[in-house]
Chain A
Amino acid sequence: MEIYFFYMFAGGMIITSLLMVTRANVIHAALLLVLTFFFLAGVFVLAGAEFLAAVQILLYAGGIMVLYLFSIMLMNVEVAVRMRQWHRQGVVVFVAVVLLGLQIWAVLGEVEFAAPKQWEWSLGATPGNVEAIGAVLYTKFLFPFEVASVLLLAAMIGAIVLAKRRIER
């Protein structure tokens, strides 16, 4: 049963992401990417990462993609629909993507995965997924967590400096 849901979510993700990459209208592309993220949240739930699935929908689909849509609104994107959409480097892209795919295929063919370990917790039991993440995030990964906050601050200042209007003197 679980595996059919996985195939459904994975197939949805691949179809919507292929459509996203080929759209001429950026608003359609952004909305298709939101759909991809919803399917991805489904995959996360199947993998037992409920907190990450919630973060995916709230932060990615709700936050980052709205930021994209607002930025698209600020730009003049209608002219881009009538322009040439593709670089003239299809052969290079084909070779690069095929080589990358063959590498991944070779590595995946080599590896033999043992039977997965069992979680110490299960769905609905205590400690749950959120508690387990918090216990690791605020102890073992406290320093990367603080570094991430500095990174966010730097990105915030950078975005304000880059996007603000020059003040005429």
Chain B
Amino acid sequence: MIPMTHFLVLGAILFLIGAAGVLMRRNAIIILLSIELMLNAVNVTFVGFSRHLADMTGQVFGIFVITVAACEAAVGLAILIALNRDRTMVNVDEVNLLKW
């Protein structure tokens, strides 16, 4: 039997790695991949609680999280392709047209 804390610590570590990736990288695609990692870290916590409480709700919410992640990937990649059409722009700090 795996202790509940193990799931929570694993989720926390993965979330922190993803958050550090979002904050530190310049490459927009790697930032999107890091966001996927953070969403999956949340899923680890959901599934851990689902196991702990013997309740299906956590797994159902895991499915919803995967749905939201799919939407986020589709829209995010569409924005990146639109940015890449005219000139090569793969770093987030080059996209500063609206920056004050």
Contact = CB atoms under 8 A, between A and B. Distances in A.
B25 A86 contact: yes
Nearest to B13: A14
Interface in A52-72: 52, 55-56, 59-60, 63-64, 67-68, 71-72
A93 B24 contact: yes
Main secondary structure of the interface of A (DSSP, over half): helix
Contacts, number: 228
Contacts of A83: 26, 91
Interface residues on B, range: 35 or more
Interface residues on A, range: 35 or more
A68 B29 contact: yes
Interface string A81-99: 0011111011011001100
B80 A104 contact: no
Contacts of B93: 87
B63 A162 contact: no
A160 B23 CA distance: 28
Given A6-B2, A36-B37, A93-B24, A64 B59 contact: no
Contacts of A119: 54
A152 B75 CA distance: 10
5 closest cross-chain pairs (CB), A and B: A155-B71, A117-B54, A21-B21, A162-B78, A163-B78
